[in-house]
A and B are shown apart, each in its own frame.
Chain A
Amino acid sequence: DVKVTQSSRYLVKRTGEKVFLECVQDMDHENMFWYRQDPGLGLRLIYFSYDVKMKEKGDIPEGYSVSREKKERFSLILESASTNQTSMYLCASKRGGGTEAFFGQGTRLTVV
């Protein structure tokens, strides 16, 4: 089975802190994604990556950056966390040309 693992289920951070959310997939997928999920808004794409060291902005990249140094790992970085970044963050991976995206369990981030 494909496994997408997010390093934390719950995080609480202070405003202004630098926050790292880590995601690892074990199926050698080319494409990886970071979404945030908010009630009534569904999932919104923050960034995606189609290869090592490659990244593209999604619909809401402001306040975020990403890093993909190895194929299996895709990190989301909040340079200076703000309260409006309190949300559920979901990582996903997908084989290039494949039909199904596989999701991690999510990280619920609270910024206080």
Chain B
Amino acid sequence: GEDVEQSLFLSVREGDSSVINCTYTDSSSTYLYWYKQEPGAGLQLLTYIFSNMDMKQDQRLTVLLNKKDKHLSLRIADTQTGDSAIYFCAESANDYKLSFGAGTTVTVRA
């Protein structure tokens, strides 16, 4: 079955870059996602990447995909206090199932 792993905590200084890493096991994954969850809220899609892409950039966000190693990363440039949240990596191989990692809690310190 699918398995998605990510580290649980990341602390970063305001203005620095954050890098959140994720590994997955399902080689048939079609889409890979990063979701953000702010305190007391549901999940919000930040960005996603097709499995045939290596990189996707969207303003301060850069997603890198190494399909050979099944490794996905999210880089947040110029991290701000509003970026403090839980970030979930997820993968999908079909229309019906998203498999999530445990979530990385990012804390931005002044």
Q: Using Cβ atoms and an 8 Å threshold, which residues of chain B touch A112?
A: none
B41 at the binding interface (Cβ < 8 Å): yes
Please determine whether A42 and B101 come into contact, CB atoms closer than 8 angstroms: yes
A27 at the binding interface (Cβ < 8 Å): no
Q: Using Cβ atoms and an 8 Å threshold, which residues of chain B touch A71?
A: none
Known: A43-B88, A99-B48, A101-B45. A50 touches B95 (CB 8 A): yes
Q: How would you classify the secondary structure of chain A's contact residues: helix, strand, loop or mixed?
A: strand
Q: Which of A9-41 contact B (CB under 8 A)?
A: 31, 33, 35, 40-41
Please determine whether B42 and A106 come into contact, CB atoms closer than 8 angstroms: yes
Q: How would you classify the secondary structure of chain B's contact residues: helix, strand, loop or mixed?
A: loop
* Smallest CB gap from A40: residue in B: B102
Expressed in whole angstroms, the Cα–Cα distance for A102 and B42 within the complex equals 9
B98 at the binding interface (Cβ < 8 Å): yes
Q: Which of A78-112 contact B (CB under 8 A)?
A: 90, 92, 94, 96-97, 99-106
B24 at the binding interface (Cβ < 8 Å): no
Among candidates A42, A90, A99, A103, residue contacting B102 with C-beta atoms closer than 8 Å: A42
Among candidates B35, B40, B45, B95, residue contacting A97 with C-beta atoms closer than 8 Å: B95
Known: A96-B95, A99-B31, A100-B48. A105 touches B100 (CB 8 A): no
Expressed in whole angstroms, the Cα–Cα distance for A26 and B61 within the complex equals 29
Please determine whether B101 and A48 come into contact, CB atoms closer than 8 angstroms: no
What are 19 A-B pairs at a CB distance below 8 A? A42-B4, A42-B101, A43-B98, A44-B100, A45-B99, A48-B97, A50-B95, A50-B96, A58-B97, A59-B1, A96-B95, A97-B95, A100-B45, A100-B48, A101-B45, A101-B98, A102-B45, A103-B43, A105-B41
B residues neighboring A (CB under 8 Å): 1, 4, 8, 31, 35, 40-45, 48, 88, 95-103
